Chain A
Amino acid sequence: MTHFDAATAAVEAALAAGARYADARVMHRRYESMSARNGDIEELKQLESAGLGVRALVGSSWGFFAVPDIANGTVREAGHRAAEIAAASAMVAGPAAELVPTTVAVDSWSSGCETDPLAVPLSDKGDLLAGATAVMRDSGADHAEGIYQIWDTNKWFVSSEGHRIDQHIRECGAGISATAISAGETQRRSYPSYRGQYGTRGWDLVSALDLLAHAPRIAEEARALLTAPLCPTGTTTLILGGEQLALQIHESVGHAIELDRILGWEAAFAGTSWLDLARLGSLQYGSELMNITIDPTIPGALGTFGYDDEGTPAAARDAVRAGTWVGVLAGRDSAAVAGLDYAGSVRADGWARLPMVRMTNVGLEPGPHTLDEIIASTDDGIYMDMNRSWSIDDKRLNFQFGCEIGWEVKGGKVGRMLRNPTYTGIGPVFWRSMDMLSSEIVPWGTPNCGKGQPGQVGHTGHPAAPARFTDVRVGVRA
Chain B
Amino acid sequence: MSAELEMASRVLDRVRAVAGTGVETEVVVDYHALALTRFANSFIHQNVAEAATAVRLRLHLDGRTASAATTVVSDSGLADLVDRTVVASRTAPVDPGWPGLAPPARPAGCGGFDAGTAAATPAERAARVRSFVDAAGGLETAGYIRTQHWRGGFANSAGQSSTGETTQAAMDGIARNAGADGVARLAATALSDLDGRVLGARAAAKARASADPVELPPGRYEVVLEPAAVADLLHNLAVWGFNGKAFAERRSFVALGESQFDPSITLVDDPVDGCEIALPHDAEGTPRQRLVLVDAGITSAVAHDRRTGARAGAESTGHAFTDAGMFGAFPVNLRIAAPALDQSPSAEADGPAADSSVAALVAAVARGVLVTDFWYTRVLDPKTLAVTGLTRNGVWLIEDGQVTRPVKNFRFTQSYPQALGPGAVLGIGAYPQAQPDSWAVARWTAPALRLASWNFTGGASG
Q: In the complex, are the beta carbons of B41 and A265 less than 8 A apart?
A: yes
Query: When the two chains form the complex, which single residue of B49, B143, B455 contacts A66, counting CB atoms closer than 8 Å?
Result: B49
B462 in contact (CB, < 8 A): yes
Query: When the two chains form the complex, which single residue of A69, A94, A269 contacts B41, counting CB atoms closer than 8 Å?
Result: A94
Q: In the complex, are the beta carbons of B129 and A92 less than 8 A apart?
A: yes
Q: How distant is the Cα of A92 from the Cα of B134 in the complex, in angstroms? A: 10
**How close is A376's CB to chain B, nearest CB, in angstroms?**
29
Q: In the complex, are the beta carbons of B383 and A184 less than 8 A apart?
A: yes
B457 in contact (CB, < 8 A): yes
Chain A 188-229 interface mask (CB, 8 Å, partner B; 1/0) = 000000000000000000000000000000000000000000
CB neighbours (8 Å) of A92 from chain B are 39, 42-44, 126, 129-130, 133
Q: In the complex, are the beta carbons of B45 and A265 less than 8 A apart?
A: yes
B123 in contact (CB, < 8 A): yes
Q: In the complex, are the beta carbons of B380 and A402 less than 8 A apart?
A: yes
Known: A89-B126, A92-B133. A49 touches B70 (CB 8 A): yes
Query: When the two chains form the complex, which single residue of A44, A388, A400 contacts B458, counting CB atoms closer than 8 Å?
Result: A400
CB neighbours (8 Å) of B65 from chain A are 44
Q: How distant is the Cα of A265 from the Cα of B93 in the complex, in angstroms? A: 47
Q: How distant is the Cα of A122 from the Cα of B47 in the complex, in angstroms? A: 41
Q: In the complex, are the beta carbons of A89 and B37 less than 8 A apart?
A: yes
B174 in contact (CB, < 8 A): yes
Q: How distant is the Cα of A213 from the Cα of B246 in the complex, in angstroms? A: 28
A241 in contact (CB, < 8 A): no
Majority-rule SS of B interface residues: strand
Q: In the complex, are the beta carbons of A65 and B50 less than 8 A apart?
A: yes
Q: In the complex, are the beta carbons of A388 and B380 less than 8 A apart?
A: yes
CB neighbours (8 Å) of A143 from chain B are 249, 251
Q: In the complex, are the beta carbons of A478 and B69 less than 8 A apart?
A: no
Q: In the complex, are the beta carbons of A391 and B388 less than 8 A apart?
A: yes
Q: In the complex, are the beta carbons of A267 and B142 less than 8 A apart?
A: yes
B173 in contact (CB, < 8 A): yes
Q: How distant is the Cα of A47 from the Cα of B387 in the complex, in angstroms? A: 33
Number of residue pairs A-B, CB distance < 8 angstroms? 275
CB neighbours (8 Å) of A265 from chain B are 40-41, 45-46
Q: How distant is the Cα of A429 from the Cα of B130 in the complex, in angstroms? A: 40
Q: In the complex, are the beta carbons of A352 and B438 less than 8 A apart?
A: no
Q: In the complex, are the beta carbons of B125 and A51 less than 8 A apart?
A: no
CB neighbours (8 Å) of B409 from chain A are 393, 398
Known: A126-B93, A453-B438, A476-B457. A91 touches B70 (CB 8 A): no
Q: In the complex, are the beta carbons of B173 and A268 less than 8 A apart?
A: yes
Known: A66-B52, A147-B326, A454-B36. A181 touches B45 (CB 8 A): no
**How close is B26's CB to chain A, nearest CB, in angstroms?**
14
Q: In the complex, are the beta carbons of A181 and B126 less than 8 A apart?
A: no
Q: In the complex, are the beta carbons of B325 and A43 less than 8 A apart?
A: yes
Q: How distant is the Cα of A42 from the Cα of B127 in the complex, in angstroms? A: 48
Interface centre among B36, B48, B384 (most CB of A within 10 A): B48
**How close is A189's CB to chain B, nearest CB, in angstroms?**
14
- Select from chain B the residue with minimum beta-carbon distance to A393: B390
Q: How distant is the Cα of A69 from the Cα of B31 in the complex, in angstroms? A: 13
Q: In the complex, are the beta carbons of A93 and B44 less than 8 A apart?
A: yes
CB neighbours (8 Å) of B411 from chain A are 391, 393, 398, 400, 424
B81 in contact (CB, < 8 A): yes
CB neighbours (8 Å) of A142 from chain B are 249-250
Query: When the two chains form the complex, which single residue of A88, A95, A477 contacts B126, counting CB atoms closer than 8 Å?
Result: A88
Chain A 257-300 interface mask (CB, 8 Å, partner B; 1/0) = 00000011111110100000000000000000000000000000
CB neighbours (8 Å) of A88 from chain B are 37, 44, 47, 121-123, 125-126
CB neighbours (8 Å) of A448 from chain B are none
**How close is B206's CB to chain A, nearest CB, in angstroms?**
13
B266 in contact (CB, < 8 A): no
Known: A35-B326, A91-B130, A478-B414. A122 touches B461 (CB 8 A): no
B53 in contact (CB, < 8 A): yes
- Select from chain B the residue with minimum beta-carbon distance to A43: B325
Q: How distant is the Cα of A48 from the Cα of B91 in the complex, in angstroms? A: 19
Chain A 30-56 interface mask (CB, 8 Å, partner B; 1/0) = 000001010011111111111101000
CB neighbours (8 Å) of A69 from chain B are 74
**How close is B428's CB to chain A, nearest CB, in angstroms?**
23
B415 in contact (CB, < 8 A): yes
The stretch from B107-115, B370-378, B442-450 touching chain A is B370-378
CB neighbours (8 Å) of A478 from chain B are 380, 384, 386-387, 413-415, 418, 455
CB neighbours (8 Å) of A145 from chain B are 326
Q: How distant is the Cα of A132 from the Cα of B377 in the complex, in angstroms? A: 32
CB neighbours (8 Å) of B388 from chain A are 389, 391, 400, 402, 422, 476
Q: How distant is the Cα of A393 from the Cα of B373 in the complex, in angstroms? A: 12
- Select from chain A the residue with minimum beta-carbon distance to B326: A35
B381 in contact (CB, < 8 A): yes
Q: In the complex, are the beta carbons of A267 and B174 less than 8 A apart?
A: yes
Query: When the two chains form the complex, which single residue of A90, A123, A127, A476 contacts B413, counting CB atoms closer than 8 Å?
Result: A476
- Select from chain B the residue with minimum beta-carbon distance to A473: B462
Q: How distant is the Cα of A266 from the Cα of B40 in the complex, in angstroms? A: 7
Q: How distant is the Cα of A91 from the Cα of B425 in the complex, in angstroms? A: 45
Q: In the complex, are the beta carbons of B384 and A185 less than 8 A apart?
A: yes
Q: How distant is the Cα of A88 from the Cα of B413 in the complex, in angstroms? A: 43
Query: When the two chains form the complex, which single residue of A123, A268, A473 contacts B143, counting CB atoms closer than 8 Å?
Result: A268
**How close is B362's CB to chain A, nearest CB, in angstroms?**
25
Give chain B interface residues in 211-256, CB to chain A under 8 Å.
249-251
Known: A45-B67, A92-B129, A267-B174. A426 touches B461 (CB 8 A): yes
Q: In the complex, are the beta carbons of B71 and A48 less than 8 A apart?
A: yes
- Select from chain A the residue with minimum beta-carbon distance to B144: A453
- Select from chain B the residue with minimum beta-carbon distance to A400: B388
B350 in contact (CB, < 8 A): no
Q: How distant is the Cα of A353 from the Cα of B81 in the complex, in angstroms? A: 24
Q: How distant is the Cα of A81 from the Cα of B33 in the complex, in angstroms? A: 14
Q: In the complex, are the beta carbons of A392 and B461 less than 8 A apart?
A: no
Interface centre among A147, A400, A476 (most CB of B within 10 A): A400
What are 27 A-to-B residue pairs whose CB atoms are below 8 Å?
A: A37-B326, A42-B326, A44-B67, A46-B68, A46-B88, A48-B69, A48-B70, A66-B49, A67-B52, A81-B49, A89-B126, A91-B123, A94-B45, A123-B93, A142-B250, A181-B249, A184-B384, A267-B176, A268-B40, A388-B380, A391-B378, A398-B390, A398-B409, A400-B413, A422-B380, A453-B38, A478-B415
Closest 10 pairs (CB-CB, A-B): A94-B43, A88-B122, A43-B325, A41-B93, A268-B142, A66-B50, A478-B386, A91-B126, A89-B44, A46-B68
- B residues in contact (CB < 8 Å) with A: 34, 36-54, 65-74, 80-81, 84-85, 88, 91-97, 121-123, 125-127, 129-130, 133, 140, 142-144, 146, 172-174, 176, 181, 183, 249-251, 323, 325-326, 375-384, 386-390, 392, 409, 411, 413-415, 418, 438-440, 455, 457-458, 460-462
Interface contacts beyond A265-B40, A398-B390: sample of 19 additional A-B pairs, CB < 8 Å, sorted by A: A35-B326, A46-B66, A47-B69, A48-B71, A62-B46, A84-B122, A88-B125, A89-B126, A90-B44, A91-B123, A93-B43, A94-B43, A185-B384, A264-B40, A268-B144, A269-B144, A422-B380, A426-B462, A478-B386
